[in-house]
A and B are shown apart, each in its own frame.
Chain A
Amino acid sequence: DQQVKQNSPSLSVQEGRISILNCDYTNSMFDYFLWYKKYPAEGPTFLISISSIKDKNEDGRFTVFLNKSAKHLSLHIVPSQPGDSAVYFCAASANSGYALNFGKGTSLLVTP
């Protein structure tokens, strides 16, 4: 059973606007959350992460928000750029463990 869910397979946003990618999880033991970005024919690359003791983490244009009570996190990209077009995976781990659980991914298209 999928413990990390990304319910939107795809998202299209205009250049300069905000992109919001959503992720839900079911396992209350998860305490660390990460976002990965993947271009075609390449491996995923680490983008940004957040610990369960925080509710927000920023890195340049990327911000991740965590709502533990709702078991929900989101990735905000502001402003969106065409180079952001990729598949974004949400991932989670329990007790800083050794394996990540990934969602199915959301394909983001940023149009000029």
Chain B
Amino acid sequence: NAGVTQTPKFQVLKTGQSMTLQCAQDMNHNSMYWYRQDPGMGLRLIYYSASEGTTDKGEVPNGYNVSRLNKREFSLRLESAAPSQTSVYFCASVAGATTYGYTFGSGTRLTVV
């Protein structure tokens, strides 16, 4: 089925460990995004990539890095995980401007202990 695929679905990390969250879309969308969802905080933008080859910081970029590997893939890296990064992470994509509405992946639930 066409859509946005995130891996892994669940992950537990120890403080200080690193990991990369993977995201791939097969809809030929230009723009891709990483959001985190925390209780009572809604969805907050971490980083986005308006097009292949470009990335920009969002509202809460500290502690994260991203790579737009190609048009399909947009990864999020935690270099040294902290308990404050415990969250549900969503990847999304859109064909062009946001007026078309994002397509979201099903999320990665990350716990940092």
Contact = CB atoms under 8 A, between A and B. Distances in A.
Interface in B78-113: 90, 92, 97-99, 101-107
Contacts of B35: 102
A74 B97 CA distance: 23
Interface residues of B, number: 25
B106 A98 contact: no
The binding surface of chain A is classed by DSSP as loop
B45 interface: yes
A38 to B, nearest CB: 8
A96 interface: yes
Given A41-B106, A44-B90, A98-B31, A104 B40 contact: yes
A77 interface: no
Given A43-B90, A89-B42, A100 B31 contact: no
A44 B42 contact: no
B48 A98 contact: yes
Contacts of B31: 98
Nearest to A5: B42
B92 to A, nearest CB: 8
Contacts of A36: 102, 104
B33 interface: yes
Contacts of A103: 42
Given A98-B50, A102-B42, A46 B102 contact: yes
A85 interface: no
Contacts of A49: 99, 101
Contacts of B42: 2, 6, 89, 102-105
Interface of A: 2, 6, 9, 32, 34, 36, 41-46, 49, 51, 89, 93, 96-105
Interface of B: 4, 31, 33, 35, 40-45, 48, 50, 58, 90, 92, 97-99, 101-107
